[in-house]
Each structure stands twice: as C-alpha cells, then as structure tokens.
Amino acid sequence: MHVYIWTHAYNAEKTLPRTIESVLGQTYRDFTYLLLDNGSTDSTGDVVREYAALDSRIVPFFNEKNWVGYGFYEAIRDNVIDRDCFFCTLDADDEYLPEFLEKCVDFMERFDCDIACASSQSVDAETGELLEGSNAVDYDMIIEGEKFSDEFFNYGPMLFTIWGKVYKSSVLRKFDYAYRKSMSYGSDTAFALEAFKHADCVGALSEKLHKYYISKKSTSFVFDVNRIYSIQKIVDLYCNYLRVKNGLTAENISHVYNAYANNINQVMVILENAELASEEKLAKLLQLIDHDHTRELMRQDYIDKPSKDFLIQNFQVFIYNLLDECSEAIAPTAVKICAFTGQAPERLPPWGGEALVSFALALLDAIGSAATPFVRRLLAKSSIIVSLNPGSLRFLREPISRVIDGDAAAALDSVLELLDEEIPDEFAEDFIELGSNLSAAAENPGAWLLFQKLRAQFFIEQSRFDEARALTEELAEMLPGDEEIEMLKRGLPQ
C-alpha cells in the first residue's frame, strides 16, 4: 500500500535535514513525501528544494506566510492524497526509525487496522538525553469493539499526538476538521481523537519507532490567547470520543480529568512566564478556574487528594506572586480565584487602606473563616488595631482603613462619629478599644478619657465588676471629684 508522509516546516533549517533523512532511510520504500516550507524566514525553503531535487518521492510545497495557504487538511480535501492509501505525519524536528513504516504497514495489513500506532521515545532537543514520559504501550495491542473502552487507560497516551501513527486515508475523509480553526494547542490530540473515533480497529505497537524531540522553544511552551480554551475543548473532545465508543465509565473519565489537571499545571507555568501584564495573567487564571470542567475536576474524585492539593497550591502560589504587582482593580478577580481555592492569600497586597479592607471583607464573604488569617495579618499592620477581633472589621471598616493609611486623627474623627449611632453589643468592646488607642495616638486626652468612661460602663453592663472597679479607681485618682466617674462607682455592687 502506498504511503503519503507529511511534514510542514517553519524555520527548521537546523533540524529538518535529520527529519528528511529519517524518512528517506525507511526500509519501506513505497511512499510519497509531501514536504511544506510553511512561510519560513530562514533557509528552510532551500533545504526543501535541495532534497526534492535529490529524490523524486519528495513533493515540495511552499506557503508565503506561516499557515496562510496549504496544509495537509487541504491536501486531503483536494485529493492530493489518494483515496486508497495510508497517511502519516512527522514534525520537522523529529525522526522515524528506519523500520517505522514497514512495521506499521505490516501490522495494518495483517490485522486489517484502520490505524497503526508506534510507541514514541521522548528526547531532550538540547542535550539528546532520553526522557521519561514517552507515548508508549507496554505490549502490542489490537483495539476494537469493547477494547476501545476497556483498554483506554493503556492506549490513552497515544491519543495525545498526531505523529507516530499510520492512518488509512478513508478514515481521514470522515473527519470534521472544524475544530482546528479555534484550537491553538492540542489540535494534534483532536486529530487523533477524531481518527480513533472513526476507526473500527487500531493497532498499537510497543516498539519505540519514533523519536519526539522536546524543546522549550517550541510553541507548546508559549502562551497564546486560545491556550486555555484549547485545553478545555480537549476535555469535550475526549468525552465525545468515549461516548461514541461506549466508554464513558468513571475510570475513563478520571483518566481524562487527570490529563486536564496536568494541562492546567503546565498552562500556569507557561502563563507565569508569559510577557503579559500581571492583571492580564490573573484574568487568564480566572478563565482557567471559572469553567465547568475545572469545577467538576475539583468537585469529583477524578484525581487523588495529593494531586488536587498540588493543583490548589499552584493556584495559590500563582495569585500570591501576582498580587504584589497588581493594583486594587483586580480585587474582584482575586476574590473569585480565592473562592475557588478556598483559601486567602498569605501576603497582603501593597494597596491602600480602603482597598485592603474591602478586599478582606470580600474574602470573608467568599470563603468565611478561611479568610480570618488574612484579616489578622491586616490588623497586624498597626499596633492601634492589632488587638481587634476580625469580626469587627465590617463595622469599623472606615477607621481601620484610615489607620492603615497612617492617619490616626482622621481615624479618630471617624470613630467619634460612630458615637451618634447605636453600637451593637458584639462590637462595643472593639469600638472602645479602637477609640482609646486612637485617642492616645492622636494625643487627645479628652477623647481618651471619654473612651475610658465608656469602657468602665461596658464592664459594668457585662457584670465584669472587678475590671470596672479597678478602672474607676484609676480614673478617680486621675480626676478626683469627677461626677461621671463617681456615678460609675455608685453603679458597682458593694
């Protein structure tokens, strides 16, 4: 059976010769090599021309701009690829071992497979070191019927990629290619899922016949605006595939969500290093969190507790690192993220008093007592308010905000204005404590004395007579004959 091999190359002058040589070195010789220079700005086009001149099986294509023009989707659509043939792809920095085609074609013909997958070996592109985590199966498999569901865990890693596989062209012509226009990442996985969905029989070879070179410079490690949408779309495509194959079991769905969790962790690393404003990074993180798939991931037991804790920790570290660089305008976004993780930031952002207090109150509304440590750190910003209870923050928000801004006099005025209101019992002691501390800080003896008298009255009303007696005696020594103090003393039991 004739095989069409496809490679599209963009600025791959250094790696493309290795890729081409691996194709020309195949022991299976009946192939056509469709080789596209995808609008390169280096000498990739010259490499394509030179090899095409050397071997007639190479058919060169050239796009003037990257991804503007031809691709293998168009080649399939326009019947450049025969209807009765096999098809495979190879990235412009990877290579196939010499027996890749021979063994895949033999497997397909012996077992009448629609697809044959060879295992892959990951290689560090910079060092040449063999890496763990290869897309591989432990033994040769024939996947058909119920095995598409039952063996999903074993062959699932092979669904991540388009390469390392030989496809019947008849399967590819059943495709819906609409997904690729919106997916900037994971289109390889989408392609593989679409192919497997339309296949009746798939063969998986355990032998590693493909080398996948991993480079941190590749597009997989670069953030773009559709990255988050793409990894969430992949979950939809997986579930659709499993539905078609009658494989929507709890175990299989768990595998899908484990892959999604891994994608989330990878996206956060890439997003953190992206050249975006901190506010924009937080907005993207919220897009990642505020989605049904992410909520489902955290709500169900699809991933184990250590993995879930690790994911939440990554969310928290991400937001903690960014808060120091963001203005208070991102507070609503930060609150939504904290509501998802169930925890408040470990550090205070460098905002003004009103913004910090509003943020703290929003956290209390969103996550309840889990925000208490954050409120305590807020109150610890000043000795004037450090002894207050977190529960008093809402009632005393204005004077506390002014204290944080360093304006004790304005904070005292704000507290004195509250004297015209009815002070709820649960906040009375903190109100008096704050007024007393502010009076001392503002060096206002009249106000300080007023709050000491209010404190003594509060002690009496709460039947804390020993404390009331000690305080009134102290005040009487300071102001002998003061009528209000004498009245307080008469209110004490003899």
pTM of the model: 0.82
Residue 352 within a domain: no
Please provide the DSSP assignment of 91-150 as one string: -TT-EE-TTHHHHHHHHHHHHT-SEEEEEEEEEETTT--B-S--S--SS-EEEETTHHHH
* Residue 124 within a domain: yes
Residue 365 placed within a domain? no
396 located within any domain? no
Taking residue 329's Cβ as centre, other Cβ atoms within 10 Å add up to 10
pLDDT in tens, 231-266: 999 999 999 999 999 999 999 999 999 999 999 999
Instruction: Note down the domain range covering 36.
Output: 3-218
Position 179 scores a pLDDT of: 65
In a domain, 241, yes or no: no
Q: What H or E segment, with its residue span, contains residue 166?
A: strand 165-168
- The single-letter code of the amino acid at 5 is I
Report the chain's terminal Cα–Cα distance, integer Å: 110
Q: Is residue 447 part of a domain?
A: no
Query: Residue 181, Cβ neighbours under 10 Å: how many?
Result: 7
> What integer pLDDT is reported at residue 181 of this predicted model?
64
List, in sequence order, the alpha helices (H) in 199-274.
227-244, 250-272
Query: How long a stretch of residues is the chain?
Result: 494
- Residues 39-52 as b or e (16 or more Cβ within 10 Å = b): bbeebbbebbbebb
Counted domains in the chain: 1
Whole-Å CA distances, 51 to 23, 46, 69: 11, 9, 22
Closest of 170, 24, 187 to residue 108, by C-alpha = 170
Provide the CATH number for the domain around residue 59. Answer: 3.90.550.10
Q: Is residue 336 part of a domain?
A: no
Amino acid 71: pLDDT: 67
Instruction: Tell me the pLDDT tens digit for each residue of 84-111.
Output: 899 999 999 999 999 999 999 999 999 9
- Sign of torsion over alpha carbons 405, 407, 410, 411: positive
Which residue ranges in the chain fall short of pLDDT 50?
none
Q: Is residue 416 part of a domain?
A: no
